[in-house]
Structure 1
Amino acid sequence: MIRSLMAGVAGLKSQQIRMDVIANNIANVNTTSFKSGRVLFTELLSQNIRGNSTSQIGVNSINPAQVGLGVTVSAIDCLFGQGSLMATNRVLDLTVDGNGLFVLASFDPNDVQGGVVSDGAVPTKNFYTRDGAFYVNEAGYLVNSSGLYVLGNSQDIAPDLAAFDDTARAPIRLYDPTTHGLETIRITSDGGIWVTVYDDTGTRSSGYIGTIGLDNYPNPENLIKLGFNLLEVPVDDQNVPTSTGWGAPESGGRGKALSGNLEMSNVDLSTEFSNMIITQRGYQASARVITVSDDMLRELIDIKR
């Protein structure tokens, strides 16, 4: 009976964790680029009541007798299926249609003077995201809502698209606000950024300014969620952000970078509500096991009276 009590408690704890994950999925049903989670259970250690042995009266062996000690959570997976696309008609809203993650970076404040990142500055930390809602900061760089720099290839305005340099990861600067104003931006499906800028004389210049990079991380389910739609590489896998997965969209198995769209959550509400009912019934059943085990213990104690 003590075993059944402990198994019931283990069931309550495990079902509660599953309900927590379901609740988080439902809460983020409208969160841009959110990836839903799922909980997997595994059986706990079983106690041997009798070991296996050879029968003394026949040729068949006697199977072991085991009593399970409950259940525990074996994994909480992040499901990286593609979410639906929502048209926003905003040029700097990007979605990855296919594989790949945008790479963001933060820099040491000593490497940023007047908002301008020093040439050759090395990011203090890299982040991944599927959230492509980007902005232009006061220094003309492409950033996310948290001010992290979007990485890719960057250069001065040129008339033609340049080949993507797989060895370079630079913050993308669209223009220099101290000398020019930004008039138009166009982003193609291969990540190429085309701008039109003007100077104080009204002279306009148009052309290619850089390409947004994507990293086709080999095991996205292994990434750690940090909040704010950011993902981080585990400590034991820090070499991966410099892997051959880095490159331009529409190449090397990477998806398209679609401008004017955002990827929505991949949460399926019908699935979540079904899982909620199943989880609730599992929780109720575990609670019932505890109640019945308690009644049996009470009966046992009453024998003494």
Structure 2
Amino acid sequence: MLDSIYIGMSGLASYSKGLQTISNNVANMNTQGFKTSTPRFEDVYYGQEFARNTPTTPARIQYGSGVEYGYASLNMSQGDVRSSDGKLDLAIQGNGFLTLLDGNAVRYARTGQFTVGDDGFVVDKVSGLKLAALNASGNLEAISIAGKQMSPPQATTAVTFTDNLSSGATNFSVPNIDVYDANGGKHTLTAAFEPDSTIMPGRWKVTVTDEQGMPVVEDHLQFFGGIPQPGADSIDVTLTSVDAPPLSIKLDFSQGVTNFSAGSTSSLRVTKTDGYAAGTLTSMSINDDGQIGLAYSNGQTDHTALVALANFTDPLRLTQLGHGLFDASYVPAPIYGKSGSGALGQLLAGATEASNVDLSNEFGQMILIQRGFQASSQVVTTANEMIMQLFQMRGQG
């Protein structure tokens, strides 16, 4: 009967741990990226005794020692993917894990809300771990935008024009032509056009002035049959500045510029310039391939490394650490790749993965554990009553 009490106590202890697992699942029903665990129970040591011989073989009496809480089995089913306001918030639709660096240790997560730290590294807001990418050598490295907060200026080398300079116009000008020197300094030019057919029909005088209205260059364009004549379809402009090297610019009229008659109305305009000022980082985003894009105030964009995703042959063997993190120290090394490659799922930016807790299933498990606890408690009570009765019988004797 003492053995029965110990067996009943093993049930009470095991079901208490099972209830703890269920309670943790329910408590994390709104925790992003949380994965539930299912309690698993195991029977423990069986002994045996030999009874008196039977006509054929010795009789054996087997007895067990109760139950123990074996382990908690992870449930890696996909949680709901929900849209988020954070452009660097990440979720995965399908297989795979985000790779995070904790010093020399590697951790994994199904979702995360990321931001740029003071040191330029992209880090998880909750755990502070660094988001990892694969470098050219195939090794993991922390994603950093250090040194990329600014977009350096680029000097203008060409200004391209398009549309029609009417042959019937007496004059025309294209104002507000913004160009930039090597230091990012902005210069605003105006190009004025006047017909000059004294030498040849279709000839135009072009005068380029700066923002103070001072002439920078005077040159000519030559049209033949309504289109620019090769060799006379561009004008070279040189600007000088006290704080930048001389700026040489080509005004290009060879692509789409015409000289057909449209009365006094001309539609000639600038279609493209290739220079820009210095810019500051204004926003970050992640595309479907997991590549981080940078946008600057000068209209330029840049891209940095691809987010590394990890795929495990048996993710159920991962160890849950808290904060949505998993440890893979005791499982085979994962295969790394980019979003959507191989067996990896699709990385989703501006989204998070919700918990995969199913309340109806958890409550069903809780009822079973409660019944097991009650039954084990009843065994202890009954065995105790039998022992008390035995003691009373001995006293009466």
TM-score (structure 2 length as normaliser): 0.62
Q: Work out whether 1:70 is the aligned partner of 2:69.
A: no
CA contact (8 A) 1:139 1:177 kept: no
More helix by share: 1
CA contact (8 A) 1:153 1:172 kept: no
Q: Work out whether 1:79 is the aligned partner of 2:75.
A: yes
In the TM superposition, residue 27 of structure 1 has moved relative to its aligned partner by: 0.6
In the TM superposition, residue 138 of structure 1 has moved relative to its aligned partner by: 2.3
Distance 1:221 1:290 in 2: 36
Distance 2:364 2:388 in 1: 36
CA contact (8 A) 1:166 1:247 kept: no
What is the match of residue 189 of structure 1? 288
Distance 1:219 1:139 in 2: 35
Q: Work out whether 1:209 is the aligned partner of 2:304.
A: yes
1:172 pairs, out of 143, 161, 182, with 143
In the TM superposition, residue 177 of structure 1 has moved relative to its aligned partner by: 6.0
In the TM superposition, residue 63 of structure 1 has moved relative to its aligned partner by: 6.0
Distance 1:65 1:189 in 2: 65
More strand by share: 2
2:95 pairs, out of 92, 99, 115, with 99
What is the match of residue 15 of structure 1? 15
Distance 1:51 1:177, change over 3 A: farther
Cα shift readout 1:79-126 (whole Å, capped 9, x = no counterpart) = 11111111114311110111111111134xxxxxxxxxxxxxxxx222
1:280 pairs, out of 343, 365, 370, with 370
CA contact (8 A) 2:88 2:114 kept: yes
Max Rg structure: 2
RMSD between aligned alpha carbons? 2.2
What is the match of residue 151 of structure 1? 132
In the TM superposition, residue 61 of structure 1 has moved relative to its aligned partner by: 5.5
What is the match of residue 40 of structure 1? 40
Identity, in percent, stands at 30
In the TM superposition, residue 20 of structure 1 has moved relative to its aligned partner by: 0.4
In the TM superposition, residue 175 of structure 1 has moved relative to its aligned partner by: 5.7
Gaps of 5+ in 1: 108-123, 155-164
What is the match of residue 84 of structure 2? 88
Distance 2:51 2:70 in 1: 27
Q: Name the SS of the counterpart of 1:193 in structure 2.
A: strand
What is the match of residue 261 of structure 1? 351
Distance 1:175 1:52, change over 3 A: farther
Distance 2:287 2:340 in 1: 10
CA contact (8 A) 1:25 1:267 kept: yes
1:220 pairs, out of 285, 297, 315, with 315
In the TM superposition, residue 299 of structure 1 has moved relative to its aligned partner by: 1.0
The range that moved more, 36-45 or 182-191, is: 182-191
The range that moved more, 249-258 or 212-221, is: 212-221
Distance 2:147 2:58 in 1: 81
Distance 1:36 1:51, change over 3 A: farther
CA contact (8 A) 2:49 2:60 kept: yes
Distance 2:134 2:315 in 1: 23
1:229 pairs, out of 314, 318, 324, with 324
Q: Name the SS of the counterpart of 1:281 in structure 2.
A: helix
How many aligned positions are there? 266
1:291 pairs, out of 381, 392, 396, with 381
CA contact (8 A) 1:95 1:257 kept: yes
Distance 1:283 1:61, change over 3 A: same
In the TM superposition, residue 51 of structure 1 has moved relative to its aligned partner by: 6.4
Distance 1:106 1:48 in 2: 51
In the TM superposition, residue 215 of structure 1 has moved relative to its aligned partner by: 0.7
Q: Name the SS of the counterpart of 2:150 in structure 1.
A: coil
Q: Work out whether 1:131 is the aligned partner of 2:116.
A: no
The range that moved more, 245-254 or 177-186, is: 177-186
* Letter aligned with residue 40 of structure 1: R
In the TM superposition, residue 209 of structure 1 has moved relative to its aligned partner by: 2.0
The range that moved more, 262-271 or 216-225, is: 216-225
Distance 2:341 2:150 in 1: 35
CA contact (8 A) 2:50 2:58 kept: no
CA contact (8 A) 2:150 2:296 kept: no
CA contact (8 A) 2:149 2:281 kept: no
In the TM superposition, residue 183 of structure 1 has moved relative to its aligned partner by: 2.1
TM-score (structure 1 length as normaliser): 0.80
Distance 1:52 1:273 in 2: 49
CA contact (8 A) 1:175 1:182 kept: no
Distance 1:176 1:169 in 2: 20
